[in-house]
Amino acid sequence: MRRKPITVDDVWAFERIGSITASPDGTQVACSVTRWSMDDNKAATRLWLLSTLGGEARALTTCGDKDGQPRWSPDGQQIAFLARRGQGDDADKTAQVYLIAPDGGEARRVCTYAPGISTFRWMSDSRRLLCIAWVWPDARGAAAQNKRQRAFDERKESGYATSEGQYRYWDSNLPMGRVPHLLLLDTRNGRITDLFEGTRHELPRFEPGLAHIDVSPDGRRIAFAHDPEPVKAGSNRLVLTELDLRTKRFRRLADQAGWDYSAPRYGPDGTQIAAVAAEVGRRHTAFGQLSIWPVKRSWRPADARTWTHDVGSDLAWSADGGSICFTAEEHGRCHVWRHDVAGGDFEVSARGGSVQAFALAGPPDAEMVVTLADGASHPAQVSVHRSDAPPRRIETFNDALLAKLDLGRVEEHWILGALGERVQLWLVHPPAGVTAKARGKRGQQPVLHVIHGGPYTASGDSFSYRWNAHLLASRGHVVVELNYHGSSGFGEDFRASIMGRQGQLEMQDLQAAVDWVGAQPWADANRTYAAGASYGGYLVAWLNGHWKPWPRGPIRAYVCHAGVYDRIATWSADSYTQRPRDLGARYWEDRAKVEAQSPHAFAHAMDTPTLVTHGAQDYRVPDHNGLAYFNTLKARGVDARLLWFPDENHWVLKARNSKQWVGEVFAWLERHGGPAAAL
């Protein structure tokens, strides 16, 4: 069969596997799978069952379009999930909990709770669920909550009045009068009990989730992370508290000045607890450290176990309590690691690619790791890892489509960057057939540097749906992805090195990458481009103000998506309380230092053509950044083009909008000397 280069339609044709959950006996895995329709511009998410013993995948739900977050009950008899189902007056306006038997049948809605359920986990009795929901703190009981929610939904006013310092996040208004509470939901009768009702306790307002809560094995105690300050802010540290469900008393588990905590996890026998602790008082970018201590006493700094990697918040104890698994990044990859509690060693238990999620399953003497992981040349796949056998795939959702695609070669390289330190870069080559047609007069390839955001993230052995390297290479560009100083997975000092001087070391790294790539015999230095989003967009704007325009400089044209342009005006962002720590100053205290790290202060030197794209619902980097950047370039007489989405946030999430975005990017590169569509 003749293979073809990947297209944007192919990217949106991939079936996207989401949450995974393993049955207690380890024989089955339930997962959510999302399928997009480019024609309808809509997605449908349903649940599937996979066998770890072999066999075909089986659809578990078929009626819903938004079935997600499956969780297997401890007794293995039921799978709970969140969905919005029903029609007419019976339609769910918010996400509700449903139950379904693993062998199929109709799913049953457990209750109708108007504020909706954000996420949940099972209690050990397999009858109750511990749920997270945004509630009205002054309303008592489920009936009162339902009444308040209905009144809110039916309001005629559109204004949002608040005195809260943190009032929006990514693309949603927070808290709109509500706070995240913990609820107990009885699956037998639908009864809901708000465990925080009448108290000042609430979960973090920024993505409250399973990383913030846990239940003791006997079901009597609940550990949770929360912001202890009276005025809530994303820059505040979190502490851990335990609630005794019998006595209703709260006890502080971890609260040391200068430390931030997450991911409380009780050990299998309930006598120990683990968590991730970061010494943010020493350095706000401090790595999370795995901590283990007896539940009877409070956490001490000596309980943090020193390691060179940043511990993820997805801690999972082994069934025998002898080890703890979690994910951590290392050099452009993300693995599942296992820590030996008694011996203290850290070792890879399941190797990435990039592990997005994992689950431990099976009996203690034959425990396995089930991973959801993608790689540089394939979307997320589900695999089983046993200590006595090679990893084994247990699904084939995207194999037929992948077999039709001609994906180019992926290479990993290390070069010398800023501070005389090595930095990693990845090359994604076009398919061989495209390469031959895209060569210039000297037989060389155009180059597209794709600069990742964050900055505390990394490019690497992963498959992105939004900035897919193979798609960007499909016209003939060699795509270069550099892990500049500040990137995650290369040590704490490497990550913190850019603080207070953002743009400087990254620019030196990018110049080294441009020089190294430009010296390769296959590279066309006259057709070199750069694109980036978020912090990558910030760096694109930064480079435009610091590098001379082509042909005196290396970059012929830029693409800037959702990039920070004005550091002072971007105090309108949802992260405004955190950014001064990155910059090392507040603008009213040291304006010169802030502006020295702001692209807009170098607008007088911006002369390189740029495609600017942005979404109006972006609260992380508000769209005035993109508009001001575009307007500035136009006022300076620089070739520029704007693509603005009224219905997108920090990302481009709709299929048709994504197709338009890719089309604009390719057309922009072609306009400035890049390869044409018809190769």
In this prediction, residue 2 has a pLDDT band, given cuts at 50, 70 and 90, of confident
| Mean pLDDT on 556-569 | 98
N-to-C CA span, the chain: 20
As given in the structure block, the two tokens for residue 73 are 């009950």
Q: Measured between alpha carbons, how far is 349 from 678 in angstroms, rounded to an integer?
A: 46
Residue 549 pLDDT > 80: yes
Cα 557 to Cα 540, 544, 638, 639, 674, distances in angstroms = 10, 9, 11, 9, 10
Dihedrals φ, ψ of 410, to 5°?
A: -115, 130
In this model, does residue 72 exceed pLDDT 50? yes
Residue 235 CB burial class (10 angstroms; 0-12, 13-18, ≥19): middle
pLDDT at 462: 97
List all residues 6 or more positions away from 659 whose beta carbon is below 8 Å from its beta carbon: 8, 9, 12, 38
Identify the band that residue 152 occupies on the pLDDT scale cut at 50, 70 and 90: very high
Mean pLDDT along residues 438-464: 92
Kindly state the average pLDDT of the residues 94-109.
Answer: 94
Contact 427, 415 (CB under 8 A): no
Q: How many CB atoms lie within 10 A of CB 257?
A: 6
Check residue 232 and give its pLDDT. Answer: 94
pLDDT at 442 over 80: no
Give percent of the chain with pLDDT exceeding 70: 99
157/129 Cα distance (integer angstroms): 35
CB neighbourhood size of 230 (10 A):
6
Q: Look at the alpha carbons of 17, 403, 333, 504 in this order and tell me if their dihedral is positive or negative.
A: negative
Average pLDDT over residues 327-338: 98
Residue 629's H or E segment, with its range, is helix 624-635
| CA distance linking residue 270 with residue 617, whole number of Å | 44
Choice among 429-433, 546-550, 554-558 with the minimum mean pLDDT? 429-433
Residue type, 37: S
Of residues 445 and 89, the one with the higher pLDDT is 445
Q: Tell me the CA distances in angstroms from 420 to 415, 417, 512, one per residue in order.
A: 10, 6, 11
Q: Which tens digits make up the pLDDT trace of 365-412? A: 889 999 999 999 999 999 999 988 999 999 999 999 999 999 999 999
pLDDT at 175: 85
Q: Is the per-residue pLDDT at 351 higher than 90?
A: yes
In this predicted structure, the answer to whether residue 87 has a pLDDT above a threshold of 70 is yes
Amino acid at 290: L
Q: What is the pLDDT of residues 479-504, one digit of tens each?
A: 999 999 999 999 999 999 999 999 99
Tens of pLDDT, residues 618-663: 999 999 999 999 999 999 999 999 999 999 999 999 999 999 999 9
What is the per-residue pLDDT for 679?
Answer: 40
Q: How confident is the model at residue 63 (pLDDT cuts 50, 70, 90)?
A: confident
Handedness of CA 280, 281, 286, 290 (dihedral sign): negative
Task: Give the pLDDT of residue 433.
Answer: 80
SS3 493: helix
For 193-244, what is each residue's pLDDT tens digit? 999 999 999 999 999 999 999 999 999 999 999 999 999 999 999 999 999 9
Residue 155 confidence class, pLDDT cut points 50, 70, 90: very high
pLDDT, residue 491, reads 97
Locus of tokens 């809901």:
192
- 418-431 pLDDT, tens digit each: 999 999 999 999 99
Instruction: Please tell me the CATH code under which domain 406-671 is placed.
Output: 3.40.50.1820
The runs of H, that is alpha helices, within 466-584 are 469-473, 492-496, 504-518, 535-546, 579-583
Position 378 scores a pLDDT of 98
Residue 360 pLDDT greater than 80, yes or no: yes
Tell me the average pLDDT across 38-54: 95
CA distance linking residue 536 with residue 454, whole number of Å: 8
The answer, yes or no, to whether residue 101 has pLDDT greater than 50, is yes
Residues 6 or more apart whose Cβ sits within 8 Å of residue 361: 22, 23, 24, 25, 26, 29, 52, 367, 368, 370
Phi, psi (5° rounding) for residue 47?
Answer: -105, 145
What is the pLDDT at residue 365? 85
pLDDT band at 18 (very low <50, low <70, confident <90, very high): very high
**Mean of the per-residue pLDDT values of the chain:** 96
Helix (H, G, I), strand (E, B) or coil at 554: coil
Nearest to 72, CA basis, from 97, 50, 106, 101: 101
Q: By the 8 A CB rule, do 309 and 287 touch?
A: yes
Q: What are phi and psi of 338, to 5 degrees?
A: -125, 130
pTM: 0.96
Domain ranges of the chain: 14-104, 406-671
Omega before residue 175 within 30° of 0, cis: yes
pLDDT of residue 89: 85
> In angstroms, rounded to a whole number, what is the distance separating the alpha carbons of residues 679 and 676?
6
Give the pair of three-digit tokens for residue 282. 């020493």
Across residues 152-163, what is the average pLDDT?
94
pLDDT in tens, 180-189: 999 999 999 9
| Confidence at residue 439, expressed as pLDDT on a 0 to 100 scale | 78
